[in-house]
A and B are shown apart, each in its own frame.
Chain A
């Protein structure tokens, strides 16, 4: 890294280490404990010890005051700036963006980014909604997912069978992931036999809010063959779409508003010089089965209306041309908000290193992570090797 301000060049950022606490339900493990496990693993992976990093960003939505500080305090590693970051489901992407910017600018050499969460059980009560919306039954989060799914089915060839196929695919992938919450395969009949939560979405088509932690050590690149962070982009929504993840009470009667996911993806492609045709493996937001199919279009993995074809052709299965959610996705792992985006990055780093075991995408060199949720915020990360 060149600290001569007169001739400072922008640093390239590499992923020096990754670590994880499994996703699931752990009644006897505190959120701080989970963070300690993930951060220690990432620091050990990177070969970084006390004093070896200059800043830390902690992604969490429900963690409370100074969550990140508590984790690093337990490790005896404080003194540097420790900042908690909240951006809904994209919190981890937001933390990565801030860390990467600090390294690229030359402000810091090495930064620890981690995400921790212990979600409430059941349908998530979110401070996002106001009391009048709750009293009127309008804080029904799965219903908003269902409306997006229904519109996708009305405006494309996607059917309930495609939604079930996404669940079958991701659960098959997740069966090979020891860090996932659900590690058993399911068949389409069983998915469609699970109870209807909000038509057209059945219970097994929805991910489970849960607990977990993930950590990533970023630094100014020095290794020649390391995993590079080619882009870490966060974008928020442009108002107007009634079914935006910003969950407005009304929107405009036209469909031309770009989504935050599309904005983030396009910006990330531009920043990294990578296009959707270059991708070898993708982890995307599968909060529900339809959300994964919407992501295919928003990330440019298929032309508009082409999501059903990708499913039918097996393109996004392990062994297909472009595997999506080889980790099993949120449908297998569950979704600990602050940790979910960094969990995707941990998976993709293993994929690019070639040590993902039974989930390995052969020869993966270019990977993309996508998260989107409340705010609305969307994060897209591009990793290369």
Chain B
């Protein structure tokens, strides 16, 4: 995966930006605010918990993807006032609901051309162990 998307600590966080000009958060982190075009956005670690806003499951591997299917896919709303597009650890849409508490985790998604494990971010239902 691209570096600079998330921290790899035991409790990972997505790396976003906070624009000092317009006050809004964004992800992934960018030098220029994608909403107001101001320079100098401040790097921040985004909240690791949020609420589920939309979800589905991907049943066939999309282009360039070597991990397993099906996998969950959705949007989680974070307290910073942003909605993040993300994989979900739950691949059964019937087990998910609007507003469900979610927590950031890191998951393996196959290997790259050099045989190295690829790890990416996902959100998992927070009410499960």
Contact B24 A123, beta carbon cutoff 8 Å = no
Q: Within the complex, what minimum Cβ distance (angstroms) separates A81 from chain B?
A: 33
Q: Within the complex, what minimum Cβ distance (angstroms) separates B35 from chain A?
A: 5
Contact B83 A134, beta carbon cutoff 8 Å = no
Known: A137-B109, A143-B58. A250 touches B64 (CB 8 A): no
Contact B85 A136, beta carbon cutoff 8 Å = no
Known: A243-B75, A250-B26. A137 touches B87 (CB 8 A): yes
Cα–Cα, bound, A123→B27 (Å): 26
Q: Is A7 an interface residue (CB 8 A)?
A: no
Q: Within the complex, what minimum Cβ distance (angstroms) separates A239 from chain B?
A: 5
Contact A143 B120, beta carbon cutoff 8 Å = no
Residues of A within 8 A of B57 (CB): 198-199
Contact A146 B56, beta carbon cutoff 8 Å = yes
Considering only residues 72-86 of chain B, those with a C-beta below 8 Å from chain A are: 73-75, 77-78, 81-85
Contact A198 B58, beta carbon cutoff 8 Å = yes
Q: Is A319 an interface residue (CB 8 A)?
A: no
Nearest A residue to B1 by beta-carbon distance? Answer: A132
- The 8 A CB mask of B21-64 against A (1 = contact, 0 = none) is 00010111000001100000000000000000111111111111
Contact A138 B63, beta carbon cutoff 8 Å = no
Cα–Cα, bound, A134→B112 (Å): 11
Cα–Cα, bound, A161→B85 (Å): 27
Residues of A within 8 A of B2 (CB): 130-132
Residues of A within 8 A of B60 (CB): 123, 197
Known: A132-B2, A140-B73, A242-B83. A147 touches B55 (CB 8 A): yes
Cα–Cα, bound, A142→B112 (Å): 24
> Of the candidates A124, A137, A147, A254, which one forms a contact with B65 in the assembled complex, judged by CB atoms under 8 Å apart?
A137
Residues of A within 8 A of B34 (CB): 239, 248
Contact A198 B1, beta carbon cutoff 8 Å = no
> Of the candidates A126, A195, A198, which one forms a contact with B73 in the assembled complex, judged by CB atoms under 8 Å apart?
A198
Residues of B within 8 A of A247 (CB): 85
Interface centre among A132, A135, A239, A247 (most CB of B within 10 A): A135
Cα–Cα, bound, A252→B24 (Å): 8
Considering only residues 196-254 of chain A, those with a C-beta below 8 Å from chain B are: 196-201, 239-240, 242-243, 247-254
Q: How many residues of A contact B (CB 8 A)?
A: 42
Contact B56 A139, beta carbon cutoff 8 Å = no
Considering only residues 107-129 of chain B, those with a C-beta below 8 Å from chain A are: 109-110, 112, 118, 120-121
Cα–Cα, bound, A200→B84 (Å): 20
Contact A197 B59, beta carbon cutoff 8 Å = yes
Q: Is A256 an interface residue (CB 8 A)?
A: no
Residues of B within 8 A of A251 (CB): 82-83
Residues of A contacting B: mostly: loop
Cα–Cα, bound, A247→B56 (Å): 15
Residues of A within 8 A of B67 (CB): 137
Interface centre among B59, B64, B71, B77 (most CB of A within 10 A): B64
Q: Is A313 an interface residue (CB 8 A)?
A: no
Contact A147 B62, beta carbon cutoff 8 Å = no
Interface centre among B1, B56, B57, B65 (most CB of A within 10 A): B56
Residues of B within 8 A of A240 (CB): 35
Contact B63 A139, beta carbon cutoff 8 Å = yes
Interface centre among B1, B24, B54, B74 (most CB of A within 10 A): B54
Cα–Cα, bound, A197→B16 (Å): 31
Q: Within the complex, what minimum Cβ distance (angstroms) separates B31 from chain A?
A: 15
Residues of B within 8 A of A253 (CB): 77-78, 81-83
Cα–Cα, bound, A254→B65 (Å): 31
Contact A150 B54, beta carbon cutoff 8 Å = yes
Q: Is A2 an interface residue (CB 8 A)?
A: no
Contact A250 B1, beta carbon cutoff 8 Å = no
Contact B73 A137, beta carbon cutoff 8 Å = yes
Q: Is A74 an interface residue (CB 8 A)?
A: no
Nearest A residue to B26 by beta-carbon distance? Answer: A250
Cα–Cα, bound, A134→B82 (Å): 22
Q: Is A141 an interface residue (CB 8 A)?
A: yes
Q: Within the complex, what minimum Cβ distance (angstroms) separates A123 from chain B?
A: 6
Residues of B within 8 A of A195 (CB): 59
Would you list the 5 A-B pairs with minimal beta carbon distance, nearest first? A134-B64, A132-B2, A125-B63, A136-B120, A146-B56
Q: A139-B63, A199-B57, A248-B34 are in contact. List 4 more A-B contacts (CB 8 A).
A: A136-B120, A150-B54, A242-B75, A250-B16
Can you pick out 21 interface pairs between chain A and chain B where the beta carbons lie within 8 Å of each other?
A124-B63, A129-B63, A129-B64, A134-B64, A135-B109, A136-B121, A137-B71, A137-B73, A139-B64, A142-B58, A143-B58, A150-B56, A154-B54, A154-B98, A198-B56, A200-B56, A247-B85, A250-B26, A250-B82, A250-B85, A251-B82
